Amino acid sequence: MAEISPSEPSFDLAGRTIIVTGGGKGIGKVYCRHLAAAGARLIVADIDGEASVEVAKEIVSKGGVAVAEPTDVSDEKAVGRMAEAAIEAFGRIDGLINNAALMSDLPRQPWHQIEAEEWDRVMAVNLRGMFLCCRAVYPQMKKQGKGKIVNISSSRVWAGAPDRLHYTTSKMGVVGLTRALAREVGDDNIVVNAVAPGFTLSETQVATSSNEYLASKRNDRRALKRAQVPEDLVGVVMFLLSDASNFMTGQTITVDGGHMMH
């Protein structure tokens, strides 16, 4: 991990309070580890309470600062408690990474085989949950006079990837939410951006994919012909949380090794 240069303080995250939803597993856990190493104070929010506690314990054991907050992002009250926990622990909320999403547990199937209940569940977490989290942190960010929101989309939206229509649709919704919300909170000096990762070999992706499927995701179409790993996303997320991106809002940055270019 690159160190923050003292000659470039605009990249410094030391002392920032950042909430990471879905922070107990997969890519979210990687975000938490790197942000803590950079000096940020973490709220590790995850529907899996034990996982969030384990990540927080790991960070603290290494000298970092983290609080576990079991959170179902589709539950309005739980999301409210998440924001309150950050304020109670650290007195402010500087950043929010909306990372929690339903994806790895979803079966890959044609669109007409998706049950309406499953469609609703995906939208409840991937879109409603993101809306609830943004709304929960907004009063504190407005009070502070600034804040950073980073929404996690997917490069699937540029390709129109099949077999998980509900997931792809929800992640395109993230782009729309990011753009519209950026305009609504700009006067409050809150910036909202999104990151669209490519196919990433996270621990959850590997655990829920067959060897045949992983082998099929060859990297020949990428400009950088290697597998994407969670650490490839850390730099852009840290940039979007830092003062270095203060005049950038409503944007979606694709990080996929040069597969989708637009």
Report, as residue numbers or ranges, the catalytic residues.
167
Per-residue pLDDT, 227:
87
- Mean pLDDT, to the nearest integer, of 28-44? 97
- Mean pLDDT, to the nearest integer, of 90-106? 94
Tokens of 243: 């003062």
Q: What is the pLDDT of residues 177-219, one digit of tens each?
A: 999 999 999 999 999 999 999 887 756 655 555 566 556 566 7
Distance CA 186, CA 173 (A): 20
Per-residue pLDDT, 142:
98
Per-residue pLDDT, 18:
98
Range of the domain at 173: 9-255
Per-residue pLDDT, 105:
83
Per-residue pLDDT, 128:
98
Whether 3 is covered by a domain: the verdict is no
Distance CA 132, CA 128 (A): 6
- Look at the block and give the residue holding tokens 């006067």: 187
Whether 97 is covered by a domain: the verdict is yes
Q: What is the pLDDT of residues 113-159, one digit of tens each?
A: 999 999 999 999 999 999 999 999 999 999 999 999 999 999 999 99
pTM attached to this predicted model: 0.92
Whether 260 is covered by a domain: the verdict is no
H-helix segments, 46-128: 49-61, 76-90, 116-123
CB 123 within 8 A of CB 166: yes
Whether 1 is covered by a domain: the verdict is no
Per-residue pLDDT, 8:
72
Given a cut of 90, whether residue 28 has pLDDT beyond it is: yes
Q: What is the pLDDT of residues 222-242, one digit of tens each?
A: 899 888 899 999 999 999 999
Length of the chain: 262
E strands present in 99-228: 147-152, 190-197
Given a cut of 60, whether residue 87 has pLDDT beyond it is: yes
For the chain, the average pLDDT equals 92
Whether 204 is covered by a domain: the verdict is yes
Per-residue pLDDT, 211:
62
Whether 261 is covered by a domain: the verdict is no
Whether 47 is covered by a domain: the verdict is yes
Question: What residues are paired with 252 via a beta bridge?
Answer: 194
Query: What is the CATH number for 21?
Result: 3.40.50.720
Whether 262 is covered by a domain: the verdict is no
How many domains does the chain divide into?
1
Per-residue pLDDT, 226:
86
Which residue pairs from 1-4 have beta carbons closer than 8 angstroms and sit at least 24 positions apart in sequence? 1/34, 1/37, 1/38, 1/231, 1/234, 2/235, 4/38, 4/39
Count of alpha carbons within 13 Å of 211, Cβ hemisphere only?
Answer: 0
- Mean pLDDT, to the nearest integer, of 66-75? 98
pLDDT > 70 fraction of the chain, expressed in percent and rounded:
90
